[in-house]
Amino acid sequence: MTPVRPVLLGVLNATPDSFSDGGRYLAPDAAIAHGRRLVAEGADLVDVGGESTRPGADPVPEAEELRRAVPVVAALAAGGIRVSIDTRSAAVAAEALAAGATVVNDVSGGTADPRMLATVAASTADLVLVHSRGAASTPPRYTDVVAEVRAEIEERVAAARAAGIADGRLVVDPGIGFAKGAAENWALLTHLDALRVDGIRLLVGVSRKRFLAALVPDGAPADARDLPTAVLSALLAERGVWGLRVHDVAGTRAALDVASAMGSR
């Protein structure tokens, strides 16, 4: 049986300090044009973020995050594009939802802002709960990374349910690269089935992550990791993930199409 093609979230960093494309899409017009290009390449949603989550990134004042992200969300949504807002701030999430976003992607799993779960519950939006332990640069300390991440995901799902968010609106993400080293990342990817919670959708974001640098020449730029990302994405599709968050939508789409063609033979 051929797996269902995962939903593709195209990454749109409206920030000056992204690890992958720092500053390229900071200007609203450039960001909007790139969002449209991602959809033309096959993205199902455009994931707009106004704050970098790379290791060592400085926090962004709420007003600045709003200034960067919300006009982009509004313009894309007005053009009929499905948009998710990548934020840890409930205020930014609320403004983005009012501007037309339909998904909130919170890399803190709803822990950074105590208002986040209630904000999403009061809307009709979906919520992505990303696993993390503090900052992305936090040294990993796990005895059994799969069991511990599973337990912590379950805790966040329980909190979202308690806030009134139905399972059908929830997505979980194991947080590859967030306070995890290469060994932890590969362990989680190898044991994805152990991270599934009661049929809730599973999103994975490996795109251009640091642990893939070992697979490309030393010193290569972040976009040199697009080929390993595409190959890994095809493998994850075979594992039945609901969604993939990627920078190179066209390359990932091609890899998924090849995997689908092989599976249909």
Active-site position among 209, 210, 225, 253 = 209
What is the H or E stretch that residue 237 is in? helix 226-238
Helix and strand counts by DSSP (H, E) for the chain: 8, 8
User: What is d(CA 243, CA 179) in angstroms, rounded to the nearest whole number?
Assistant: 21
Q: Are 1 and 35 in contact (CB under 8 A)?
A: no
In a 13 Å sphere around the CA of 94, the CA atoms on its Cβ side amount to 12
Q: Is 245 a catalytic residue?
A: yes
**What is the total residue count of the chain?**
265
Catalytic annotation on 161? no
Catalytic-labelled residue, pool 201, 225, 245, 253: 245
Among candidates 75, 73, 133, which has minimal Cα distance to 103?
A: 73
Identify the CA nearest to 252 among candidates 187, 215, 206. Answer: 206
Antiparallel, parallel or unpaired: β 45-49 and 7-13:
parallel
Q: Which residues are catalytic?
A: 209, 245
